[in-house]
Amino acid sequence: MKLAYWMYAGPAHIGTLRVTSSFKNVHAIMHGPIGDSFFPVLSSMLSRSRDFAPVTTSILDRHVLARGSQEKVIENLRRKEKEEHPDLIVLTPTCTSSILQEDLQNFVIAAKQHIVQNDLSSECDVLFIDSNHYRLNEHQAADLALEQIVRHYLEKAKKEDTGKSMRSPQPSCNILGMFTLGFHSQHDLRELKNLLNDLGVEVNQVIPEGGSVTAIKNLRNAWFNIVPFRDAGLMTAVYLAKEFNMPYTTITPIGLIDTAAFAREISLICRSAVASDSALLKSTTGFSPLILNQEGLEKYIEKQTSFVSQAAWFNRSVDSNNLTGKRVFVFGSASHSASITKLLVREMGVHVVCAGTFQKHDADWFTHQVSGFCNKILITDDHSQVADVIANLEVDAIFGTQSERHVGKRLNLPCGVISAPVHIQNYPMGFKPFLGYEGANQIADLIYNSFALGMEEHMLDMFKGHDTAEITSRSYSSDASSTKLEWTKEALAELSKIPGFVRSKVKRNTEKYAQTKQINLITLEVIYDAKEAVS
């Protein structure tokens, strides 16, 4: 048992649902108690989705506990097939149902048979996705779910002998692991597509975000795969590499240096593909995308870095002189924390005192990435430990998740949010990518503003800028009114419970009311009566 107040990563089924609901026309049935039907709220509120979340619960209650849930689960699967005609229905347990150890896999087989028997034309697939709730967290489960779905469809294609690998004539890629409720992921996807477009790389498929499971068999038409973030997609890329010899990159194009590294790596992948495949050589002759042209690529990177993106110039400008040697703490998902750490050190000259991640399962990779860029590495998913470390470090700013933002508030330190988990304000409407050249601009703004605000506070404090003296002259009672009003102890206590920003209004209204009624002593009742009179 663990005493926990807050967690960085959610339970396994949330990861699975994020993947399934990102695909088009895939419905998930979650087997669990009614209180677990919370995912649609996240989908509707955080990502402000206009559609009903494609998730239903096959509800586990007392009744089901006593009789077993086979009948109900199968009925729910059949019902969804009829109501929505999805391409795929995924059945997944929550932590509560997984300890019942029912044979959900078998329920799925039974439901599938039933669907086929009753409607031969039904194309609906049914898949059981299990994830151990006590060993996997949200991100690991998402990674696994995506791999299972991709594997299912590719194996099916192999059996049916459809979807043979036909590499596209021009360089193309798949983007793996972009999904709903990801940190700025909609914006990142758009920026990544812009970058690939500039480089002359076609996007074959994006999965799961907006993807279709029936198209998965064509994943192999791409030349290579991109896994922008390590949260999900890596297992799928590894599977595709093993099974179909598809190369992949896991460089996260955050910051100018890593964006360039990303472009160079995929250029290398594409050029060696052409070199080793005569068919590709033929199909690309006479057509020279940047990605196949080393010299052109370098020029592009140079131009983007020096002129198009403002970040490099900004970092040189005198404005950002005062960032030099500033001490910061960085924490977040493995990909974001490592990328931002490197960016801060190499591109902005900021001193990262400590970099950390809550993704303990990826500790080795993370350590390898940030060693040499920071004095201390922190791997933990205990938010109070993170808070303690920050409190002891004497830093000028924090870059982290919502939890670190609150730590910053308490310690009076500026904080920029660079990673999930986040609140609704981190699902912005304006275009705010973290990836690519526009991402570099956005990050520069974020970091500079964090420091500038911190600086402003400091100056205000120094010059006693904030006028904190209580403004009393506005209160009604101090007007030269003839009657002197008194408040009882209870009434004053009640008044103090009213939120600060309306308190003086309530006080004024109450006293006004009392005066019109010629009451001199304000009691609890008078407060309520006054409220009633004005409302």
Distance in Å, CB of 36 to ligand SF4, minimum: 4
Cα separations in angstroms, 82 against 72, 123, 340, 527? 15, 12, 47, 59
Distance in Å, CB of 507 to another protein, minimum: 15
Dihedral, 312, 315, 318, 320 alpha carbons, nearest 10: 160
Report the alpha-carbon angle 94-424-363, nearest 5.
Answer: 60
Please check if 459 is assigned to a binding site.
no
Q: Which one of 24, 25, 70, 84 is in contact with another protein (CB under 8 A)?
A: 84
Q: Is 319 a catalytic residue?
A: yes
By a kind-dependent CB cut-off of 5 to 8 A, residue 423 interacts, out of ligand SF4, another protein, none, with another protein
> Would you count residue 524 as binding another protein (CB under 8 A)?
yes
Unique residue bearing structure tokens 């970091």: 447
Q: Which helix (H) or strand (E) holds 355?
A: strand 351-357
Residue closer to ligand SF4 by CB (options 96, 194) is 96
Piece of the chain touching another protein by CB under 8 A; list 134-142, 222-230, 334-342, 507-515: 134-142
Piece of the chain touching another protein by CB under 8 A; list 59-67, 426-434, 451-459, 460-468: 59-67
Per-residue interface string for the shown chain with ligand SF4, residues 43-82, x marking contact by CB under 6 A: ----------------------------------------
Piece of the chain touching ligand SF4 by CB under 6 A; list 32-40, 282-290, 309-317, 330-338: 32-40
> Would you count residue 7 as binding ligand SF4 (CB under 6 A)?
no
> Would you count residue 66 as binding another protein (CB under 8 A)?
no
Q: Which one of 25, 70, 87, 100 is in contact with another protein (CB under 8 A)?
A: 100
Distance in Å, CB of 18 to another protein, minimum: 12
> Would you count residue 511 as binding ligand SF4 (CB under 6 A)?
no
**What does the alpha-carbon distance between residue 210 and residue 359 come to, in Å, rounded to a whole number?**
26
Q: Tokens for 301?
A: 């990177």
C-alpha closest to that of 504 among 474, 484, 463, 461: 474
Look up residue 319 and give its DSSP letter.
G
Residue closer to another protein by CB (options 423, 458) is 423
Q: Tokens for 194?
A: 């812009």
Please check if 36 is assigned to a binding site.
yes
Piece of the chain touching ligand SF4 by CB under 6 A; list 31-39, 124-132, 164-172, 478-486: 31-39
Q: Tokens for 515?
A: 């005066």
CB 128, CB 106: distance < 8 Å? no
Residue closer to another protein by CB (options 37, 122) is 37
Distance in Å, CB of 72 to another protein, minimum: 10
C-alpha closest to that of 93 among 180, 9, 21, 29: 29
> Would you count residue 38 as binding another protein (CB under 8 A)?
yes
**What does the alpha-carbon distance between residue 299 and residue 304 come to, in Å, rounded to a whole number?**
8
Distance in Å, CB of 37 to ligand SF4, minimum: 8
CB 206, CB 175: distance < 8 Å? yes
> Would you count residue 365 as binding another protein (CB under 8 A)?
no
Dihedral, 485, 488, 490, 493 alpha carbons, nearest 10: 50
> Would you count residue 488 as binding another protein (CB under 8 A)?
no
Torsion over CA: 302, 303, 304, 306 (sign): positive
DSSP 106-125: HHHHHHHHHHHHH-TT---E
Unique residue bearing structure tokens 């329920």: 107
**What does the alpha-carbon distance between residue 174 and residue 158 come to, in Å, rounded to a whole number?**
19
Distance in Å, CB of 76 to another protein, minimum: 8
Look up residue 469 and give its DSSP letter.
S
Catalytic hit among 61, 319, 461, 479:
319
**What does the alpha-carbon distance between residue 223 and residue 204 come to, in Å, rounded to a whole number?**
9
Please check if 455 is assigned to a binding site.
yes
Dihedral, 200, 205, 210, 211 alpha carbons, nearest 10: 170
Residue closer to another protein by CB (options 347, 494) is 494
Q: Which one of 33, 40, 210, 349 is in contact with ligand SF4 (CB under 6 A)?
A: 33
Q: Which one of 9, 28, 36, 331 is in contact with ligand SF4 (CB under 6 A)?
A: 36
Q: Which one of 49, 70, 96, 170 is in contact with ligand SF4 (CB under 6 A)?
A: 96
CB 454, CB 396: distance < 8 Å? yes
Distance in Å, CB of 325 to another protein, minimum: 30
By CB under 6 A, name the binding residues for ligand SF4: 33, 35-36, 96
Q: Which residues are annotated as a binding site for substrate?
A: 454-455
Q: Which residues are annotated as a binding site?
A: 36, 454-455
Residues that are catalytic: 319
Q: Which residues are annotated as a binding site for [4Fe-4S] cluster?
A: 36
